[in-house]
């Protein structure tokens, strides 16, 4: 697995998922890097950054419920994801969009927190909303629902390439979450978009300040040559406080 630059995860913490999707489109032509139709179940605890560990859940076969849903077995995929993942990992669960059962509840979430899991993402459901909303685990999913996932699904794959909400995910891809949702960065692009994404954030903070003050968007946003020249002049000037829309 490609090594990341040491500062990459910290840089990514300062970049929004919106900006990262824009960068992935711009630098690599990638259009589908954000799982569709999921949301932070607690927007106030939506942010995380970390490498993906994957799980795949398939439909139940009733005669296998006892054997395959048994977390006492060392090879159980859910158990492996929880117990073998490096601290800082993000667990991503491909359920094929199944919301008939909650993929994870409060006790497994508690164990994930103890083991230092950075975040949990699934295109399915979660359960135990009551306690979970008070716990320190960022979770992005479709909905909450009471039933256990073992009533309708079986864990059938650990750390494979998966689809999550229509996004291809390789183990080790860098996953970022915030209030908007989730972006999955191909690992070899993480260093690059961390830097270019942070640059975009800084330029857009500058743009936003001027737009707030009355700058029209035409020729100014999305960032034009003129915008970038203004921005660089403002940076060169030591980033003075902006008090009017048309600064330079």
Task: Please report whether residue 229 would count as binding a copy of itself according to CB under 8 A.
Answer: no
* Interaction between residue 247 and a copy of itself (CB under 8 A): no
Q: What backbone torsions phi and psi does residue 30 show, to the nearest 5 degrees? A: -90, 125
Q: Is 66 in the site for a copy of itself (CB under 8 A)?
A: no
230 is a site residue for a copy of itself (CB under 8 A): no
Q: Which of 1, 5, 146, 235 binds a copy of itself (CB under 8 A)?
A: 146
Token readout for 89 is 């990992």
Restricting to residues 77-136, which ones interact with a copy of itself according to CB under 8 A? 79, 82-83, 96-97, 99-100, 102, 105-108, 110-111, 113-114, 127-131, 133
Q: Do 198 and 192 form a contact (C-beta atoms < 8 A)? A: no
Please, are residues 99 and 125 in contact by the beta-carbon 8 Å criterion? yes
Choice between 133 and 195, CB closer to a copy of itself: 133
Angstrom distances, CA of residue 134 to CA of 55, 109, 118, 138, 180: 25, 11, 16, 11, 20
Specify the residue, 31 or 243, whose C-beta has the smaller distance to a copy of itself: 31
Closest CA to 7 of 244, 231, 197, 237: 197
**Single residue of 14, 86, 87, 179 touching a copy of itself by CB under 8 A:** 179
Specify the stretch interacting with a copy of itself by CB under 8 A; choose among 2-10, 11-19, 194-202, 235-243: 11-19
Are 90 and 117 in contact by the 8 Å Cβ rule? The answer is yes
Among 4, 160, 199, 201, which residue sits at the site for a copy of itself (rule: CB under 8 A)? 160
């Amino acid at each position: 697995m490609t090594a990341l630059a040491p500062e990459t995860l910290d840089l990514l913490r300062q970049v929004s998922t919106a900006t990262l999707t824009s960068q992935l489109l711009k630098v690599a032509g990638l259009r589908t890097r954000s799982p569709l139709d999921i949301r932070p179940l607690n927007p106030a605890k939506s942010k995380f950054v970390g490498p993906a560990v994957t799980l795949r859940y398939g439909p139940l076969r009733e005669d296998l419920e006892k054997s395959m849903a048994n977390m006492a077995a060392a090879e159980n995929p859910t158990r492996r994801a929880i117990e073998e993942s490096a601290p800082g990992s993000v667990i991503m669960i491909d359920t094929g969009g199944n919301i008939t059962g909650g993929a994870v509840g409060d006790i497994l979430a508690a164990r994930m927190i103890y083991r230092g899991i950075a975040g949990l993402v699934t295109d399915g459901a979660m359960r135990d909303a009551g306690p979970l909303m008070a716990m320190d685990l960022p979770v992005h999913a479709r909905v909450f629902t009471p039933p256990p996932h073992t009533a309708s699904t079986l864990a059938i794959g650990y750390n494979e390439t998966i689809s999550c909400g229509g996004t291809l995910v390789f183990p080790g891809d860098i996953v970022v979450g915030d209030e908007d949702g989730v972006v999955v960065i191909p690992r070899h692009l993480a260093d690059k978009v961390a830097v270019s994404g942070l640059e975009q954030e800084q330029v857009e903070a500058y743009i936003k300040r001027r737009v707030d003050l009355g700058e029209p968007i035409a020729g100014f946003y999305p960032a034009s040559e003129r915008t970038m020249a203004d921005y660089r002049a403002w940076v060169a000037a030591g980033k003075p406080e902006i008090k009017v829309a048309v600064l330079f």
